[in-house]
Chain A
Amino acid sequence: NAGVMQNPRHLVRRRGQEARLRCSPMKGHSHVYWYRQLPEEGLKFMVYLQKENIIDESGMPKERFSAEFPKEGPSILRIQQVVRGDSAAYFCASSPRLGALGGSSYNEQFFGPGTRLTVL
């Protein structure tokens, strides 16, 4: 019973290199979210994707960052030309669906173990 999987768990890059973070959602989940967490800070939303679609990327920096969730394969968060400020934990979460319950909405998200990115 696989939960949300992320790899690599730890990634070290030098300034200017590219970082690729992968996320495989739970089986049956079609919604993927990426978050960034800096030390002593909360989770900051980056991007929300469904298969082959970016639904909301309002939290994504305009430059160097991109995300995709292809029809086949994992979701990928790509950071080009990394800088030291990109060092953080990047979490992926998945959910099965959007829904309404009793007139309200709910959206349970299940988190992967995260990728700790260190930029030297």
Chain B
Amino acid sequence: QKEVEQNSGPLSVPEGAIASLNCTYSDRGSQSFFWYRQYSGKSPELIMFIYSNGDKEDGRFTAQLNKASQYVSLLIRDSQPSDSATYLCAVIQASGGSYIPTFGRGTSLIVHP
């Protein structure tokens, strides 16, 4: 059973701070990792993907992957109230030809002014 775990939150941070969102996964064969943002009542929107150990930066967002510890995190620098949303972690195990992502339940982020 593939599992992707996220703290449901809410995670509350002040405007301008760094928000740190974490995700752990159970399947060691996982190879691709995605972060989606979902505003209330809207559809998920892809923020970043990462597949190699280490950090990947894109603007204010940094994804960090540690395959040995089986976790992936998303850092949001200079958090803005507009970043308030639910952040979904998704993991794909490529072996066996199945590219179906498993999603976590998401972490609710609140950035307060």
Contact = CB atoms under 8 A, between A and B. Distances in A.
A and B interact: yes
B52 interface: yes
A45 B44 CA distance: 14
Given A91-B43, A113-B43, A105 B101 contact: no
A104 B52 contact: yes
Contacts of B43: 91, 111-114
Interface stretch (B12-20, B56-64, B74-82, B92-100): B92-100
Contact of A43 (B42, B51, B103): B103
Contact of B100 (A56, A91, A101): A56
Contacts, number: 65
Contacts of B106: 42
Contacts of B51: 101-102, 104-106
A51 B31 CA distance: 26
B100 A105 contact: no
Interface string A6-42: 0000000000000000000000000001010000111
Contacts of A111: 36, 43-45
| Minimum-distance CB pairs A-B, first 4 | A105-B94, A104-B51, A42-B105, A111-B43
8 contacts: A45-B103, A56-B98, A102-B51, A104-B31, A104-B52, A105-B92, A106-B51, A109-B46
Given A98-B99, A104-B32, A114-B43, 8 more contacts: A43-B44, A56-B98, A91-B44, A101-B51, A104-B52, A105-B92, A108-B34, A112-B43
Interface of A: 33, 35, 40-45, 48, 56, 58-59, 91, 98, 101-102, 104-114
